Amino acid sequence: MTQPLVECIPNFSEGRRMEVIDSIAAAISAVAGVRILDRHSDADHNRSVITFAGPPQGVLEAAYAAIARAAELIDLDEHRGEHPRIGATDVVPFVPLSGVTMDDCVRIARQLGERVGRDLGIPVYLYEAAATRPDRVNLERLRRGEYEGLKSAILSDAERAPDFGPSRLGKAGATVIGARAPLIAYNIFLTTDDVEIAKQIAKAIRHSSGGMHYLKALGLLVEGRAQVSMNFTDFTHTPLARVTELIRREAQRHGVSVEHAELVGLVPQAALIDAAQWYLQLDPFRPDQVLEARLYATEGETGGAEPAFLDGLAAGTATPGGGSAAAYAGAMAAALVGMVARLTIGKKKYAAAQERMAAVALEADRLRASQADAVALDARSFEAVLAASKMPKESRDEIAARQTALEQATHRAAEVPLQVAGNAAATLDLAVEAARDGNRNAFSDAVSGASLAQAALRAAAMNVRVNAASVADRTAAKRWLAQLEALEARAAQAASTLDAMIRKQTGSTA
């Protein structure tokens, strides 16, 4: 909970020469603040995936350095492998982790794309959330014909013109850059070397062929075995366990079975817990029943607000203060909404609400993480105001520097609680949904979440108004206040709807 974090998972068209991947990894690691989390190379695919994370600007710089190094070391004219590809650096997705939004990642993707096209002369296509055209959202369409087909198409077909860079391919090919939600790369090996069986299974399960939503699949020959290679774009809607069982049944139809599975890169813990819960039929299971999760929670190592936060709040110091408390309340509100949604998922009585509650749980998790990050962000922003106010003011230059620093710090001190207020309003909307469509036994939990969200919004709004009153930039102040008023109106409407549900549920005038 120290800084905004972005994840980047570039795929490189090299999985056999480890010295090349080592060099690319070194270029990434050389950027301050960026950490490599995972490396995965596959000789049959002739492809490597490097996962790294860090602050937004650092991740952008590391991605550029990796693309530049790959362009020096990988020649697509010489490259052969099982996996489809169009570039030395084939695809570069950015994923928001904490303190950043999908829109932030879209901006990073577009900045990187423009720079790669301009400075490296590599054609760049934008995809997923960063796509500039509907037909470029899906990666498969951009890889159509692979490097060899694109090499000629890009010269004459206006539909294949890149978003950035020249309309011609060099030895580094083209690169696809974008922003997306977390993705799970998961492969299943079959007890056969007949790749046609894997291809038929992949066709049966993937969404583009009429199969399961949020699932992409290919049939490949890897390590002498037929492999069903998959990408899960939303595991909350299409879980790993469900797909694994479907593949198992499809394989049996062909007289083969599942030999083993593998993950490429990293996987959210929630996806593994979901699989364990499904296979073990642990219907009443709670994530906090995991020993390590409970241990880390008691030690304050789960991220977000630590248990010691309340001691700090009670101390005689300026920070953390009301703004941090607002964010803390907002995080608890989102956590309660996520709890209600998960208590609804998997219950036959609420079959009609399954898909929506899964989406509510996912969005509640995102809001909870953002609010938890804001606990510290708000404290730091006010500390910056205090530091600016203590700057020397003896000379005219010192006074000017102090005023500039104080103005900038106060802007940040207003923007953080404004984001908290926006998150709280969004959480309140989700709480209303959870109360209306969720598990009736958890109705009071949904209402509690809504109440905390309302409190978070009111507390954050006070911080915005105090800071807005003290800035010299009245245009910015008016913009903040207008946004705040819109959020408060939205929250009032949600609260009115919730009050009506409470009266119906309890017969009271709560």
Question: Annotated active-site positions, please?
Answer: 83
- Cα(452)–Cα(455) distance, rounded to whole angstroms? 5
**Residue 263: beta bridge partners?**
186
- From the number of C-beta atoms within 10 Å of its C-beta (0-12, 13-18, 19+), residue 488 rates as middle
Both structure tokens of 344: 């609804």
Q: What are the tokens at 420?
A: 């908290």
Query: Cis peptide leading into 320, omega within 30 of 0?
Result: yes
CA 419 – CA 270 distance, rounded (Å): 26
- Contact between 397 and 462 (Cβ < 8 Å): no
Contact between 105 and 126 under an 8 Å Cβ cutoff? The reply is no
Q: Which two tokens stand for residue 474?
A: 């009245």
Contacts of 387 (CB under 8 A, 6+ apart): 405, 409
Enclosing H/E stretch for 52: strand 47-54
Cα–Cα distance measured from residue 305 to residue 422, given in angstroms and rounded to the nearest whole number? 19
What span, in angstroms and rounded, lies between the C-alpha atoms of 507 and 509?
7
Give the max Cα distance, the chain.
Answer: 86
The residue to which tokens 């991947």 are assigned: 21
The first and second tokens of residue 413, run together, are 């001190």
Q: Which residue has the tokens 């951009």?
A: 142
Q: What Cα–Cα distance (Å) separates residue 124 from each residue in 5, 107, 161, 171? A: 24, 15, 9, 14
Q: Whose CA is closest to 487, among 409, 427, 412, 413?
A: 427
Question: Cα 25 to chain center, whole Å?
Answer: 22
Backbone φ, ψ for residue 264 (5° rounding): -110, 115
Answer for the pair 197, 219: CB distance below 8 angstroms, yes or no. Answer: yes
Tokens encoding 495? 């609260």
| DSSP-based three-state secondary structure for 8 | strand
Check if the beta carbon of residue 254 is closer than 8 Å to that of residue 197: yes
CB 350 within 8 A of CB 357: yes
